[in-house]
Each structure stands twice: as structure tokens, then as C-alpha cells.
Chains A and B, each alone.
Chain A
């Protein structure tokens, strides 16, 4: 049982780290501000969730578990709000997105 929890925790943390790195690569690689924001979206949703689930499995204490759950919920609420504020500020100040030409 312990091995099972350890292994799944390890897997969750590994996937989470990979997603974090992917998000970072996306920020460096994508061409303009708006597309980079989508790369951040990966880091702030699934990567955070995976790492926090991995940490929850490491810790059987109910109080710690609930605290980690709270961090996850807050991140999921704050992330999109901040992204939207950034995007709106950019468009209102006249930053033109690079669009795909058909």
C-alpha cells in the first residue's frame, strides 16, 4: 500500500514538473504577449494541480491535506482573474496581437 502511494505521488510530481517546464519553454518560445499567456495557463492549472496532488499523497495528515486543497482552489480562482486583467490592460493600451494569416 505504501509503495503504491509513494509511486503515484512520484508520478504526479514528475508529470507536474514536466508541465511546469513546458510552460516555461512556451513563455520563451511563443511569438507575442497573448500567445505567451496561454503557456502560463498550463503552469497555473494542471501543473499546479499535479504537484499539489503529489504533495497531498506524501502527507496523510488531514489538516495539511485540506490546506493544500485550499491552495489549489485559490490558485484556480486567482489565476484566470489575473490573466484576464493582464490581457485587458494589454488590449486597452493598444498592444496588437500577432494573428494567424489564412
Chain B
């Protein structure tokens, strides 16, 4: 039930944001489309804690602030190596272990790795992530486990 409410609030905000018209006809058409979408997603049985992770809402801002900082630092590093010669890069592929228990935690971790320039999650099997990195140091930083620990704290 909580997930349905959060989804309908989100859809209403999204509709208002994209429309910008507030006449009665437009609003009722919007309400009808939201109800239709809710009916369809309920039939598809996809409204749950994975599509609407509201239990994470309070913890997300702190994690995002940290992630943005990491993304900016990684961007500077990658841009530096783009303008340096090709000899300065050290492409590495390595399997690292993720300590998250839930699927959604693993997805957040894998997506965070890929979102940071210089590291891409190539494959994941169970808790083993295969990561390709532009620089050897980026892999070492991941293995130190700062990001892993933060995502695990996020899901608990």
C-alpha cells in the first residue's frame, strides 16, 4: 500500500511537471492516466520495495552527496589521462567482492561503480563483480572498500 501511494504521488508530480496546464479538463485527464498506469503496474505485479525503494529515501541524500564528490574527482582524473599520452593509462580487469545482501544494494553498488568514470562493472555473478578500470589505482581504491561499505550501510 505504501508503495502504491508513493508511486501515485510520484506520477502526479511528474505529470504536473511535464504539463504546466492547470485547467479542470487537463487535471482530470491527468488523474485518469495516473489511475490507468496504477492499474497496469498492479497487474504486472511490479509495485514493491524494488521499484519504489522508499525505505532508502532518508539515507539517499548523504550517499548522493558523497557519490557526486567521487564522480567529480574521477572525472578530473580521467580527463587528465585523456590529454596525457596513451602510455600513462594502465587498463586492468579484476574481480572484486560485494558485501551487499539484497539485490537492490548490489545494483546500487554496480551502478555507482559504472557511474564513476574510469571504472565499469562488466559482469556480475552472485557477489563477484568483474570490473574494468582505466587505471590500476582505481581498482585499488575500490578494493579498499569505501564505496562498498557506504552502500552496505545504505541498505541496512
Contacts and interface: CB of A to CB of B under 8 A. Distances in A.
Instruction: Say whether A and B bind each other.
Output: yes
A26 B78 contact: yes
A87 B82 contact: no
A90 B121 CA distance: 12
Contact of B71 (A30, A45, A88): A45
A52 B101 CA distance: 36
Given A76-B115, A84-B120, A29 B79 contact: no
B118 interface: yes
Interface residues of A, number: 38
Interface of B: 14, 17-18, 20, 71-72, 75, 78-79, 82-83, 86, 89-93, 110-111, 114-123, 130, 132, 134, 136
A84 B75 contact: no
Contacts of B79: 19, 22, 42
Contact of A97 (B14, B83, B90, B93): B93
B78 A42 contact: yes
A70 B17 CA distance: 9
Nearest to B82: A26
Contacts of A45: 71, 75, 115-117
Contact of B78 (A32, A39, A100): A39
A66 B17 CA distance: 7
B91 A91 contact: no
A55 interface: no
A39 to B, nearest CB: 6
Interface string A37-66: 111011001100000000000000001001
B66 to A, nearest CB: 15
A63 B17 CA distance: 6
Contacts of A81: 111, 114
B117 A91 contact: no
A37 B91 contact: no
